[in-house]
Structure 1
């Protein structure tokens, strides 16, 4: 069992470049990741699937076309997927570890290999694992110090936000990730009352980043790194 510290509300939000900041370079590429960090992003966001030979692959769709056939990464080896799609090891090799990394776990089987790779390079404490089923995340709690984030929408929280916040706290799931348009100051205060982190995605404009910062949002994802920076600075 690993020792996990409860999350603390952050004085300034983590600025995650969504898919490496896809407004500036091809998404989920090493070029995009490196450029986003150079521009001042404090975090990178990506998607992960597991290849047939157990490599965490950074790509949104998780499929490759071979001879006019669509094949899932789970049935294709890393070498056959091709060098255009980086692995998590490639990302750390190219960009180092001095940033927060938010990983949208598209394939639940990829979660533990992602944790193992982050741990290997000493970056597990800066890893954020996002998944739409918080019970999947809860099953990982005793095995990782990574931040575990429930990626959802208000309409999917049938029991209501307060009960969800209490359940996440009891299970050791660190935070909740909602579309930016669903966040309000009151909702952020509710999750903070349960000491859960508040994460927003689809933050594409300075005014939205500024408003979320004033609400106390702990992290945000957007395609435009410069807008995230300007918006949080203006809050």
Structure 2
């Protein structure tokens, strides 16, 4: 049985992107100053092995876009931070959620987290359950998250909860509209955390938090923090 996180984690989606350029050090720093307890980004690995934070994983002009995996760190735009630079600027006293969209980047990301961060407070996410399951066999110290939608669960909510528990996956991340108190309870009963993403308006954040989820992702840090405060 998982005890709900109180207060729930407030993940600043790509930093305080409603006020600063997304996925930049100023956005991450501002998010923490505004009271976010977690940061969210996407992690990629450059051609020379540096873990960096960017949403799309491609850089360059419109007709000359290149995957970050094909670009050395020194040739990336100046606003793209490395994970090591995030730790240097912000420390490690926060939860960190990273979408690792390229499965090949998993091991370098874990190595960078171990070198400068807190593996036990790092949540690595992917939309493929087989991929996340394989990751569990590669690293036991980081947290793993199954990012999906209820409509994609061929095994149903109860079945997915049991599967994640059996495979040692720490959390499931669903769109805020998918969550109900019953669904949260089904995951908590087997020891899996419940995360909700894309909660942007005050009403959507309040509705999501009322289900008892353990974390909420949003672009508006001030709204997230205020909503958690309203929980008491």
- TM-score above 0.5, yes or no: yes
C-alpha contact 2:2 2:188 (8 A) present in aligned 1: no
C-alpha contact 1:115 1:144 (8 A) present in aligned 2: no
Report what 1:230 is aligned to.
226
Deviation track 1:136-168 (CA, whole Å, cap 9, x = no partner) reads 122222423111100001111111111111111
Report what 1:212 is aligned to.
208
Measured after TM superposition, the shift of residue 70 of structure 1 is 1.6
Where structure 1 has 5 or more consecutive residues not aligned to the other structure, the ranges are 1-5
3-state SS of 1:16 partner: strand
- In 2: Cα distance, 1:186 partner to 1:67 partner: 46
Report what 1:15 is aligned to.
10
After superposition, the CA RMSD in angstroms is: 1.6
Where structure 2 has 5 or more consecutive residues not aligned to the other structure, the ranges are none
C-alpha contact 2:199 2:218 (8 A) present in aligned 1: yes
Does residue 128 of structure 1 match 2:131? no
Change (3 A) 1:162 1:71: same
- In 1: Cα distance, 2:206 partner to 2:77 partner: 40
Aligned residues: 230
C-alpha contact 1:45 1:102 (8 A) present in aligned 2: yes
Match of 2:98 among 84, 95, 103: 103
Report what 2:45 is aligned to.
50
Report what 2:21 is aligned to.
26
Measured after TM superposition, the shift of residue 8 of structure 1 is 4.7
- In 1: Cα distance, 2:101 partner to 2:56 partner: 9
Does residue 165 of structure 1 match 2:161? yes
Measured after TM superposition, the shift of residue 92 of structure 1 is 0.6
C-alpha contact 1:199 1:220 (8 A) present in aligned 2: yes
Match of 1:137 among 121, 132, 139: 132
